[in-house]
Structure 1
Amino acid sequence: MIAANGLLGKSCYILLSNPKPMVPSLVETGARLFVTKLLSHFISTGSVVLLENGGTMFTFEGTTKKCSLKTVINVHKPHFYWKVMTAADISLANAYINGDISFADKRYGLLNVLMILFANRGLISSSSIKKRRRWTPFIFTAGLTSAKYCFKHFSRRNTLTQARRNISRHYDLSNELFALFMDETMAHSCAVFKTEDEDLTDAQRRKFSLLIEQARIDNKMKFLRLDVVGEA
């Protein structure tokens, strides 16, 4: 089935299980209605499918051919809709990080939804903006959330007093944390991989060897390593 769909140039999504249906609250039900109507007006190109736990599906497909991408977003928790209604794109990122949503295409799903959103933003014209005036409350609440994040960022600015706190929170971290995603070399810079599934340690050691070769370093030389951390 997958091979046949691949030959036809179509996407195939197989549901291996049917999770328990979501039971949204009254507020979440209203938010879902709001978000689905918003997407039906916003998506002018490409295709976005919201697939809830239990099988409920909402499909939004544009009529223009600017973008041919398709993506299926698995919605696992009903409060996802409320967060999107009140915080817009910030909540979409947070929902993905927190596991409220996932993508049927684990490799390209996130990239595809971003490309679809960018393509549709580029299609917004003055006439479509007039149609979207009904969504002014949504824009207002999303703006308030964005303002909240901006205020939090402003409160962490590098004054003499705050700088010490910022350094402690961002840089005074234990090696146990970095060991979760680094290899035994604890190198912060990018490794040089020969294949996609190569071990990170081997790729890091290859990088070291290439640098030594390019710098023409031999066993008679000494060098000093300086780690510089910059912050905008």
Structure 2
Amino acid sequence: MSEKTRIALHYTLYKIEALLLSGDRYECCCCGKSSRRFLAHGNLAKRQNIKCPHCLSLERTRILCMYIRNVVFKENPKPLRVLHFAPVKGLKDFLRNSPQVSEYIDADINPNVATYQADITQIPYADHSFDLILCSHILYCVPEDRKAMQELHRVLRPGGRVLIVDTIEGEITQELSHLPAQILREKYGDEATCRVYGRDIVRILGQYGFESKIIDYVKQLPTDFVEKECLTDAFDSEIVDCLKR
């Protein structure tokens, strides 16, 4: 069975599960659909009531969706050209169907999970091509992450922004690629982990021409919305908003 077939089967099984979870207690802002509960998710330990059964969005995806809707779109009245690395279905569908997006391109190094194949360290687009780039939980597993940052800056137009979502722990970035795969898998849930970023990611991005800030956006959302979207215990959801000056 090919990887594309496995992915298609995966989505089919979730559609069946979504039917079994019909209800209106919780709602997903990415797909706009409701459920009586969300699905469990987690590599190291399963966390309950996290993943939308309709579009498979996680907390970080729904928070990012609201940040784009409430902040990015409002600050940019003209339709945006968007590049989305490692797309997830819910956010992908939201952006692709939004009138505030003039062109949507989803890309990944794995051709089976996105429309276009692209290496984030060698982005196959011209300088100043995009108004908005999304990069969620990617840079931590890119060996040459500085080269990726340089490329993101290159293809972004002046005044454009990159939204990065990644695990941020402590003040200083820890490089981990020297550790054995088993330790990475057991401790971080992914043997491809190259690093865990600290809050110094803002300084690192500044070396490549970005003016960045870390935003814990869930704290700015209404309490009733947070509860409805299952964001109360949001995990890995801080957004690094990077502007190209």
| TM-score, normalised with respect to structure 1 | 0.25
- Relative to its length, the structure with more strand (as a share) is 2
Larger Rg: 1
- Relative to its length, the structure with more helix (as a share) is 1
| TM-score, normalised with respect to structure 2 | 0.25
